[in-house]
Amino acid sequence: MKVKIATPLLSYTGAREVEAEGDSIGALLDDLERRYPGLRFRLVDEQSRIRPHMRIFVNREAVRGLDASLEPGDDVQILQALSGG
Amino acid sequence: MTEILRSERPADGPLALLVATKKGAFVLRADAERREFALEGPHFLGHIVNHLVLDRRDRRTLLCAARTGHLGPTIFRSDDLGRSWKEASKPPAFPASDPAGRAVKHVFWLEPASAAEPGVWYAGVSPQALFRSEDAGDTWSSVASFNDHPRWFDWTGKGQDGTPDGSILHSINVDPRDPRHLYVGLSSGGVFECVSEGRDWRPLNGGLFADFNPEPYPEFGQDPHCMRLHPLAPDVLWQQSHCGIYRIERPGERWERVGDHMPRAVGDIGFPITLHPRDPRTAWVFPMDGTQVWPRTSPDGRPSVYVTRDAGASWRRQDAGLPRERAWLTVLRQSMTADAHDPVGLYFGTTCGELWASRDEGASWSRLRSHLPHVYAVEAAELDA
């Protein structure tokens, strides 16, 4: 499925939209890590918690954990909240 | 009698200043006279860089502790002095099985281990924990003897008490005579020493005041802002703490508050302390206003370095060339450093993005740069030709 990537992660993917597979957000992030080493830890901490300012949307609905399931053709967006200075 | 070790082989190349800032890293390469400094960078523009450090054993490898305000913490590595970078394949992180669910918030301090362990590095992180790499910073593992110590939660205030940017482990000092003998500083928590051939840790806080604690001289819980072990006299440690300037000679157990000899109107509160590379009786501090709400700026708006050349028995003001009034500078704990030249060069960076230098051991100062981002750390790196 296609995954839209936040611009701060472009140094890993080189593109705003990439292909990845998985039947859950966790599996999808594992696949992204295989394709783009280092990306997952910038997005998710070692206890598998999505970092505070990062947001993942599936079909425009926010997901809070990595166990959210995915279906083929789902629209996944990884975005970054606006904050800081 | 203080043991004095032999100095390591001097570098035969230029000096470089490694500057870590809130918005990226910069390298300033000096000419042979240390008069002109060419600016390179920024590296990792937009990243919060807490520390950029040269491996003084190979004088080629750089490690850079970085994060952004949103992305998780990582370490970048360069083996060509910053011309190219690779990210650590396994940055510091607690085990996924950590029963307390701890996660590294940021990497604060990077330190090469002793010459006896080439390629080994240590990292201090937030919360107060220690990590070790044995492959020049590519993969990192938790130092379980400290991070999983039965008293870790007592010593660290459960990892909660700390600086406005979070609690940190900093000031990693490795005894050059014994690679398993380490000292670290915790903000907060105090000073801790690795003992029993690396298997255990103990507090080393005798004589250290803690005015923010109901017990003013607790076993642990102090706030050592910056601690330095003298590389040639490794039984001598100095620290600038939240509550004064201290010195200890091991195997002594009590720190002496040598800051009591500072001018009373200036006080002995500050963040950094810098040691003379060859003389264990000489140190420099940059006092700040630690009164009332702790402005953390130059006392009375008159910035100055202070030097002692007699192990803290007396201190002398060194402000020639610095602003004489109405200058409220803040110099953080990693932001003042010394080179290995003779006379020693001193350098400090400010939170308002200035970089200052002295080529004569603090007798006079000149501004190298303005308009850098908020400076977090400055390291003097002696390069080979």
Which of A11, A47, A56, A80 to probe the B interface (max B CBs under 10 A)?
Answer: A47
Q: Give the CATH number, domain containing residue A10.
A: 3.10.20.30
Centre a 10 Å sphere on the Cβ of residue B317 and count the other Cβ atoms it contains: 15
Task: Count CA atoms closer than 13 A to B323's CA, side-chain side.
Answer: 13
Residue B104 in contact with partner chain A when CB distance is under 8 A: yes
What pTM, to 2 d.p., does this model score? Answer: 0.96
User: What sign does the dihedral B206-B210-B216-B220 (CA atoms) show?
Assistant: negative
Q: Print burial letters for B136-145: b (CB count within 10 Å at least 16), e (below 16).
A: bbbebebbeb
Q: Is residue B3 part of a domain?
A: no
Query: B246-273 pLDDT, tens per residue?
Result: 999 999 999 999 999 999 999 999 999 9
Q: How far is A54 from chain B (nearest CA, A)?
A: 7
Q: Give the CATH number, domain containing residue B171.
A: 2.130.10.10
B68 contacts A46? CB cut-off 8 A = no
Q: Is residue B4 part of a domain?
A: no
Range of the domain at A41: 2-80
Residues of B whose CB is below 8 A from A48: 96
Range of the domain at B53: 15-382
Estimate to the nearest angstrom the gap between the alpha carbon of A85 and the chain centroid. 24
CA-to-CA dists, residue B213 to B17, B210, B218, B344, angstroms: 38, 6, 8, 38
Task: Count CA atoms closer than 13 A to B269's CA, side-chain side.
Answer: 22
Higher model confidence: residue B69 or residue A34? A34
A43 contacts B71? CB cut-off 8 A = yes
A42 contacts B74? CB cut-off 8 A = yes
**Which residue stretches of chain B are H helix?**
144-147, 152-156
Q: Is residue A37 part of a domain?
A: yes
For chain B, list residues with pLDDT below 70. Answer: 1, 7, 159-161
- Find the CB nearest A54 among B70, B87, B91: B70
Coil vs helix vs strand at A8: helix
Residues of A whose CB is below 8 A from B91: 41
What's the pLDDT score for residue B165?
79
A81 contacts B68? CB cut-off 8 A = no
Q: Is residue B91 part of a domain?
A: yes
Total structural domains in chain B? Answer: 1
Interface contacts A/B by beta carbons within 8 Å: 52
Q: Closest-CA residue in chain B for A38? A: B89
Q: Is residue A11 part of a domain?
A: yes
Residue B87 in contact with partner chain A when CB distance is under 8 A: yes
| Reported ipTM | 0.92
Instruction: Say if residues B184 and B191 touch (Cβ distance below 8 Å).
Output: yes
* Distance, first Cα to last Cα, chain A: 34
Instruction: Say if residues B138 and B88 touch (Cβ distance below 8 Å).
Output: yes
Distance between CA atoms of B172 and B167, rounded to whole angstroms?
15
For tokens 């400055």, what's the residue? Answer: B378
Average predicted confidence (pLDDT) for chain A: 95
Residues of A whose CB is below 8 A from B74: 38, 41-42
Total structural domains in chain A? Answer: 1
Structure tokens at A32: 């992204």
What's the pLDDT score for residue B167?
94
DSSP string, B246-278: EEEETT--B-B-GGGGS-TTT-S-EEEEEE-SS
CA angle, B265 then B271 then B273, to 5°: 95
DSSP state of B323: -
Bridge partner list, B25: B20, B43
What's the pLDDT score for residue B1?
54
Instruction: Say if residues A37 and B64 touch (Cβ distance below 8 Å).
Output: no
Residue B39 in contact with partner chain A when CB distance is under 8 A: no
Coil vs helix vs strand at B67: strand
B72 contacts A38? CB cut-off 8 A = no
CA-to-CA dists, residue B381 to B5, B12, B104, B363, B364, angstroms: 21, 12, 27, 22, 21
B69 contacts A46? CB cut-off 8 A = no
- Preceding peptide of B42 cis, ω within 30°: yes
B69 contacts A41? CB cut-off 8 A = no
Q: Is residue A61 part of a domain?
A: yes
Q: Which residues between 51 and 70 in chain A have a beta carbon less than 8 angstroms from any beta carbon of chain B? A: 51-54
